Structure 1
């Protein structure tokens, strides 16, 4: 193959690619919530701290869903053209690096609200625009698993090849 064909092939493959320096960072901001069960109106400090922790974890889960997406499993049962049963599960498995907790607020009803922010730099965005299969490229370092391992064996964690990387 001569150099001209190689250049033309590369140009055809990347003709709609925007140079990475011209892409602005994307700021993703999400909110998570957590609450506690109060027995007879008494709330311990432990319950408050656990509610605060739950709100942080909910915010990080929301961030992972927003950036990487989620796996959804569902099933429906129809009998005599009428829906009898409808259920679904969602699954997220992700590493989040560089996220910042912007605010943690205790709300009037006793719940906590946590705001988390992540800046997606141009390199990440470039990975999204280069190929339709961005999750599988080594450059983006994001691997997806089927998630079936978690549904079948909820107590087990998937192997290192079954996680998302950022």
Structure 2
């Protein structure tokens, strides 16, 4: 029994020594970080459209106001597609080598900060359009205030 205890102590001591020596690499250096800035900042633009007649409202003015809001949301959706991409889910089913069902679903998800409305105007008699612009320099400045991205500037080993 004592021989097994002695062997167990030796194994535990060896594992402990390996773990302690492995951790020492975390404490023998100092890393200095600096922020990273892109070389170019693109300006993205998007246009959203919405029909006026199909909007809910008691008067023509109410429907026009709702179309303005809907066209703005459509423009934001388009900006989100440009920034984050579009997720596509598709499925098809075949029975006896005959196509039974084919489905395609598209969605976009993301947060757009810093966009500005360039112009909002009627198109024809029944459509409203809104133009948005997203300056990526402004987005980067907003990002810096939240995330503070960094890269290694210098490493000093002791």
Instruction: Return 5+ residue gaps in structure 1 as ranges.
Output: 2-18, 125-136, 141-166
> Taking CA–CA contacts closer than 8 Å with sequence separation of 6 or more, which of the two structures ends up with the larger relative contact order?
2
TM-superposition CA deviations, 1:77-100 (whole Å, max 9, x none): 223333322112222222111101
| Structure having the larger proportion of residues in helix | 2
TM-superposition CA deviations, 1:55-81 (whole Å, max 9, x none): 000000110111011222221122333
Aligned to 1:117: 133
The answer (yes or no) to whether the contact 1:72–1:91 under 8 Å persists in 2 is yes
| Structure having the larger proportion of residues in strand | 2
Q: Does residue 84 of structure 1 match 2:100? A: yes
Structure of larger gyration radius: 2
TM score, norm. by length of structure 2: 0.57
Q: Does residue 49 of structure 1 match 2:49? A: no
Equivalents in 2 of 1:114, 1:79: separation in Å? 46
Equivalents in 1 of 2:125, 2:67: separation in Å? 12
The answer (yes or no) to whether the contact 2:117–2:133 under 8 Å persists in 1 is yes
Q: List structure 1 segments (4+ residues) > 6 angstroms apart after TM superposition.
A: none
Compared CA separation, residues 84 and 25, structure 1 to 2 (3 A): same
Quote the offset at 1:138 in angstroms: 8.8
Count of equivalent residues:
108
Compared CA separation, residues 49 and 77, structure 1 to 2 (3 A): same
Equivalents in 1 of 2:138, 2:63: separation in Å? 41
Task: State the SS of the aligned residue for 1:95.
Answer: coil
Aligned residues: CA RMSD: 3.1
